[in-house]
Amino acid sequence: MEGIVCVAVWAVPLAMVTATAMWAYRWSHPKVNGQLPPGSLGFPLLGETMQFFAPNPTCDISPFVQERLKRYGSIFKTSIVGQSVVVSADPDLNYYVFQQEGKLFESWYPDTFTEIFGRDNVGSLHGFMYKYLKSLVLRLYGQENLKVVLLSETEHACRSSLASWASRPSVELKDAISTMIFDLTAKKLISYEPSKSSDNLRKNFVAFIRGLISFPVDIPGTAYHECMQGRRNAMKVLKKMMKERMAEPGRQSQDFFDVLIEELRREKPVMTEAVALDLMFVLLFASFETTALALTLGIKLLAENPRVLEALTEEHEAIARNRKDSDAALTWAEYRSMTFTSQVTLEIVRLANIVPGIFRKALQDIEFKGYTIPAGWGVMVCPPAVHLNPEIYEDPLAFNPWRWQNKVEITGGTKHFMAFGGGLRFCVGTDLSKVLMATFIHCLVTKYSWKTIKGGNIVRTPGLSFPDGYHVKFFPKK
């Protein structure tokens, strides 16, 4: 009897260990019809998530990607936040993924990202619905509205902000630019007036941004929890605003939110209230955060590269000299004439790599260069690994706008440049970002000089941030 009990006592834990080992083996060796790319899926469920979010204090490719490129090549597998993913630093595969969207791939983000941006966010929508929403957004951010309305409003915002900053001992540049752009775009999107509002909407977005790309643990005290709390608070404001506007049937259209309300009031509306709210949330976030980060890094790079700053200043001072009134408003023709500024902008966003990864999902088993991407797996296109590839860009970490000289104007994503995405989902706010950056630079270099007071260090986790801030003092030019 004792022998039977002894065997039973040992058999149960042994069976548990065996089952766990088999489960772990199946996790790390998934069945596939073909050959998976090389790489590791890490520990079950956790995968290689911790390594993916490890901080990197440079503009270079993250150590997570860099180490795997050396070990496995430009296409490798990993697992992030519980999802098996093929990471691509291969320009051919990147281009193929973008071009085959809607056929072999679809837009996709891990569940944690979907929780952050909302289940009905534009990145999770496909086909007709995505094209429909894109056409609505282009009414606001398309070139015609940029030319007629937004260029002059952007210049006014830049001029008044710089004048205000120059009166202070110093400003934290990322926060200052974020505030300027948020106030500008939020007014166009929802008629937001920060001085008249008690909800401090931007504060909620700042909380959201701090944990946007962080380890997904939703408990008090974590960046991810702060992010989710910021989203919930911002959505409360938007839901309240929608309820009030839906209760005003005779309201005249004043902003983009009113455009969406009109669409919702149609007899057979194409979108739901949830889709409209998530769209507004994403637009409010995307309209200011990415451009503010790029501009802050751009000003830092200009301060560190006087030869570039001198050439840039010459171009803008020449524009001012050619006017009858040097203080006249910037025209669309002048904006379009900023050849070197365009090169500087491309070089800033190439080095900034604001978006560390662009995600898609395979709709079926896909063969590429001898590897199989299984149906249901994610694909992470990795722009930094292309933008900082020495075989594509000579001395890739150097800030060299002249590398873009005599190049064809980029109006969509290419194999070697995808700072604004590519394919069907090429960023609809690209032209707005370029106008914002060029206008700010014009107002800055023609009227001010500046010096760094403190900060300016960067950290990527894997998103870009300035942990110590970037404090700058502005001086009006005589």
Looking at the fold, whether 244 and 123 belong to one and the same domain comes out as yes
Looking at the fold, whether 85 and 234 belong to one and the same domain comes out as no
In this structure, are residues 338 and 195 in contact, taking their beta carbons and an 8 Å threshold? no
Cα 76 to Cα 435: distance, rounded to the nearest angstrom: 37
In this structure, are residues 141 and 431 in contact, taking their beta carbons and an 8 Å threshold? yes
pTM beyond 0.85, yes or no: yes
> CATH no. for residue 336?
1.10.630.10
Strand extents, DSSP E, 4-156: 75-80, 83-88, 105-107
Cα 224 to Cα 209: distance, rounded to the nearest angstrom: 9
427 is in an annotated binding site: yes
203-220: average pLDDT: 71
Provide the pLDDT for residue 13: 55
Residue 20 pLDDT more than 50? Answer: no
Residue 462 pLDDT more than 50? Answer: yes
Strand extents, DSSP E, 278-377: 358-362, 366-368, 371-373
Cα 116 to Cα 231: distance, rounded to the nearest angstrom: 7
Cα 215 to Cα 230: distance, rounded to the nearest angstrom: 16
Looking at the fold, whether 18 and 124 belong to one and the same domain comes out as no
Residue 223 pLDDT more than 90? Answer: no
Q: Which residue has the higher pLDDT, 192 or 383?
A: 383
Residue 361: phi and psi, rounded to 5, are: -125, 140
Residue 15 pLDDT more than 50? Answer: no
Q: What three-state secondary structure class fits 255?
A: coil
Residue 8 pLDDT more than 50? Answer: no
Q: What is the mean pLDDT of the chain?
A: 87
Looking at the fold, whether 99 and 76 belong to one and the same domain comes out as yes
Residue 85 half-sphere exposure toward CB, CA atoms < 13 A: 29
Lookup: tokens for 226: 């702060």
Q: What percent of the chain has pLDDT over 70?
A: 87
Looking at the fold, whether 335 and 443 belong to one and the same domain comes out as yes
Provide the pLDDT for residue 339: 96
> Using 50, 70 and 90 to split pLDDT, how confident is the model at 19?
very low
Cα 146 to Cα 64: distance, rounded to the nearest angstrom: 39
Residue 127 pLDDT more than 70? Answer: yes
Cα 452 to Cα 169: distance, rounded to the nearest angstrom: 11
Residue 308 pLDDT more than 60? Answer: yes
Residue 39: phi and psi, rounded to 5, are: 135, 180
Structural domains counted in the chain: 3
Domain extent at residue 5: 1-30
Residue 72 pLDDT more than 70? Answer: yes
Looking at the fold, whether 165 and 287 belong to one and the same domain comes out as yes
89-100: average pLDDT: 94
Looking at the fold, whether 327 and 281 belong to one and the same domain comes out as yes
Task: Mark out the alpha helices in 118-219 (DSSP H runs).
Answer: 127-141, 143-145, 151-166, 173-190, 201-210
Looking at the fold, whether 12 and 49 belong to one and the same domain comes out as no
CA angle, 131 then 137 then 143, to 5°: 110
Provide the pLDDT for residue 23: 44
Provide the pLDDT for residue 406: 85
In this structure, are residues 171 and 145 in contact, taking their beta carbons and an 8 Å threshold? no
Looking at the fold, whether 80 and 227 belong to one and the same domain comes out as no
> Distances from the Cα of 454 to the Cαs of 48, 89, 161, 232, 467, in angstroms?
35, 35, 20, 34, 12
Provide the pLDDT for residue 377: 95
In this structure, are residues 399 and 308 in contact, taking their beta carbons and an 8 Å threshold? yes
pLDDT tens digit sequence for 239-290 = 998 999 988 887 888 889 999 999 999 888 888 898 898 888 888 888 778 8
Provide the pLDDT for residue 3: 54
355-367: average pLDDT: 92
Cα 272 to Cα 409: distance, rounded to the nearest angstrom: 38
Looking at the fold, whether 383 and 420 belong to one and the same domain comes out as no
Task: Count Cβ neighbours within 10 Å for each residue of 78-107 and write b for 16 or more, e otherwise.
Answer: bbbbebbbbbbbbbebbbbbbebbeebbbb
Residue 30 pLDDT more than 90? Answer: no
Provide the pLDDT for residue 122: 67
pLDDT tens digit sequence for 364-411 = 999 999 999 999 999 999 999 999 999 999 999 999 999 999 887 776
Looking at the fold, whether 60 and 103 belong to one and the same domain comes out as yes
> Using 50, 70 and 90 to split pLDDT, how confident is the model at 212?
low
> CATH no. for residue 87?
3.30.43.20
Provide the pLDDT for residue 400: 97
Looking at the fold, whether 156 and 239 belong to one and the same domain comes out as yes
Q: DSSP string of 158-176? A: HHHHHHHHHTSS-EEHHHH
Provide the pLDDT for residue 161: 97
Which residues touch 173 (CB under 8 Å, ≥6 apart)?
Answer: 296, 299, 469, 470, 471, 472
Q: DSSP string of 29-41? A: S---SS-PPSB--
